[in-house]
A and B are shown apart, each in its own frame.
Chain A
Amino acid sequence: MADHPSSSSTSSSANPTAEPSAIFGKQAILEAFAGHPAVHTLEQLLIDAKWDRQELTLSVAPQTILDAVRAIKAAGYNFLEDVTAVDWYPTDTPSAPRFQISYSILSHSRKERIRIVARVMGDNPHMDSITSVWPSANFYEREVFDLFGIHFAGHPHLTRIMLPDNWNGHPLRKDYPVEGYR
């Protein structure tokens, strides 16, 4: 699991045009980004990592997300930009769980953005809420809960934000049809 280049893609056709600068895998990233504060901070928690298209993506286990964001905040990444999810349905195995939750985090001083990724299984998906670290995660997590049905433990008010409370289903899941009624 660790050193596998997870371009986290359902179609197993590997990157056709991976630029030479793309680096995949935890070990390769640890070597190439030895002095990087984000990589250094999350070294213990990393399960996978990639440098692709000038973007650094660090994968951590979902149980450790609170530790990861606390550490990354302490390392100077002060601004949470976004929390969103991707549904890799029908992929849903322990090595490639169905839901990918992406945290986009910015450092105002380093003028640099990183993406922290955690993947959770499709059956009763749940994560720890990071609202205790960044209050701004409140709306983002509610949106992910509403549209993907992922629960965030410890969220102060986890209710639907876009759709009516009596809505059935979570529209951004891939098994939810684009047209017609469910």
Chain B
Amino acid sequence: MSYNPVLDRETQEDDRPTSFVPSEVGMQDATGDTTGATLAGIRPAEGILVPDAEDIVQGSASHQHGSDPVVSQTMVLNMGPQHPSTHGVLRLVLEVDGETVVSLAPDIGYLHTGIEKTCEAKFYNQVTPLTDRIDYLCPMTNNTAYALAVEKLLGLEVPERAQVLRVLLNELTRIQSHLVWLGTHAMDIGALTVFLYCFREREDLLRIFEAISGQRMMGSYIRIGGVALEPPAGIYDRIRSFLNDFPEHISEYEGLLNANPIWIGRLKDVGHLSAEDAIALGVTGPSLRASGVDFDLRRDMPYSSYERFKFNIPVSNGCDVWARYLVRMQEMRESTLICHQALDLLATLHHQPLHADAPKILLPDREKMKTQMESLIHHFKIVTEGFQVPAGEATSSVEAPHGMMNYYVVSDGTSKPYRVHMRNADFANLQALETMCKGRLIADVVAVIGSIDIVLGAIDR
């Protein structure tokens, strides 16, 4: 405490005790919150940094309502939203007995941007760039899901070539997303090397995306009715050479991890989630398949020409973090195979256009727009007024890297969507966190968060 001699002399007598005590109490609460350890019993003052930890933990499923979590041995511990292992801004409030998790409740919404509300104020075309930013690890998948829903409303037929190109990009996106998952998951456990290797390959993929769409991450490449533009010359060879090398890289990651005793010890028999619980809690994607439920939308409810591809769905009965690791590693291999098939198909379909024949919905070719009056009119109308979509509602459903991604689009017949709702796997998968962590150690929570592979942008929207 430094004293200003002038001020100090003036305030010395009476002011100090009264002005000092309340602020010190406030400080204590605030530091308690920011360091991540809010002791139950000290209720944070009104309006302080974060909501009351006790209220959150009391909302969790396993907390005994009415009992006071303070009196016996349990302690309420705050984890996040700035915790490095929570993959963004997830805040968890843990009730712990020693180091054992008694109950756990996620507190989300720190990234809530009201994207669904924003969509209602945009033309249908203008929504596509917003969808990139929801699940920012798989922007192409978001684009696809949104495009499929609006195409369903419009009754648009997308040419085969565009559909296959979508499949190719969706699978590359899956590999990219799984690489981020593997890198961060391993880093959470303490294996930093894997992260660097994964990001090396991810960089290759981002450069491919940049060459195709002009942007590394937020490509907005998949549009309503097709894709944005013709891929550049030579890109398929580049993708092919990446795919040829990639299985070796997967083996390289596995070489770092599979026989690593720390990795095995931290993953095996941790975060148990039975198939019944997974279905009851709405878990989808690799986490569901690692609980022994053999369901994958790409095979079971195919979209965008997935029915033309031959691939296996990795399933495991392990129900633990290790099983989720195995399933995702195998999925990357399968995605590589799908990409090879997609490239073969694209070579046979090269004469086809990349977007539907719908001049009133899709922006015209640049050349035509400058030479033909009609195309110019269409361009002007689409840009200034959008296009009308027949009234009705449609749900599209795609298998995103994190699980089932649904877009529910409601139209009232105007050029702006009446309602756009995204169902992201991350939001539902997060609900299963408590079931997986209850009765386990705090360190296991970190492993389990890594294994459900969440993106907070998709949860908070």
Q: Contact at A9–B412, with CB atoms within 8 Å?
A: yes
One of A32-40, A64-72, A79-87, A119-127 contacting the partner: A79-87
**Is the C-beta of A41 less than 8 angstroms from some C-beta in chain B?**
no
* Residue of B108, B390, B431 touching A16 (CB-CB under 8 A): B390
Residue of B nearest to A57 (CB): B393
Q: Contact at B412–A81, with CB atoms within 8 Å?
A: no
- In the complex, chain A residues whose CB is within 8 Å of the CB of B120: 178
Assess A53 versus B153: contact at CB under 8 Å? Given A171-B114, A178-B117: yes
Assess A13 versus B391: contact at CB under 8 Å? Given A134-B282, A138-B431, A139-B430: yes
**Is the C-beta of B370 less than 8 angstroms from some C-beta in chain A?**
no
**Is the C-beta of B301 less than 8 angstroms from some C-beta in chain A?**
yes
CA distance A104 to B407 in the complex (A): 11
CA distance A52 to B155 in the complex (A): 11
CA distance A82 to B408 in the complex (A): 10
- In the complex, chain B residues whose CB is within 8 Å of the CB of A19: 155
Q: Tell me, rounded to whole Å, the shortest Cβ–Cβ distance linking B389 to chain A.
A: 10
* Residue of B117, B418, B430 touching A171 (CB-CB under 8 A): B117
How many positions in chain A have a CB within 8 Å of any CB in the partner chain? 54
Q: Contact at A79–B279, with CB atoms within 8 Å?
A: yes
Residue of A nearest to B394 (CB): A53
* Residue of A134, A143, A164 touching B280 (CB-CB under 8 A): A134
- In the complex, chain B residues whose CB is within 8 Å of the CB of A159: 55, 59
Q: Contact at A139–B428, with CB atoms within 8 Å?
A: yes
CA distance A108 to B461 in the complex (A): 27
Within 8 A of B (CB), among A2-58: 7-11, 13-19, 52-55, 57
Residue of A nearest to B295 (CB): A108
* Residue of A10, A108, A113, A161 touching B397 (CB-CB under 8 A): A113
CA distance A7 to B116 in the complex (A): 21
Within 8 A of A (CB), among B138-195: 152-153, 155
CA distance A179 to B122 in the complex (A): 12
Within 8 A of A (CB), among B272-315: 279-282, 293, 295, 300-301
Q: Contact at A163–B392, with CB atoms within 8 Å?
A: no
Residue of A nearest to B421 (CB): A84
Residue of A nearest to B152 (CB): A53
CA distance A166 to B121 in the complex (A): 26
Q: Contact at A157–B59, with CB atoms within 8 Å?
A: yes
- In the complex, chain A residues whose CB is within 8 Å of the CB of B428: 136, 139-140
For this complex, 6 residue pairs linking A to B, each with C-beta atoms less than 8 Å apart, are: A9-B412, A84-B423, A136-B280, A157-B60, A171-B114, A171-B117
Leading 6 A-B pairs by shortest Cβ distance: A136-B282, A157-B59, A162-B109, A82-B423, A162-B112, A9-B391
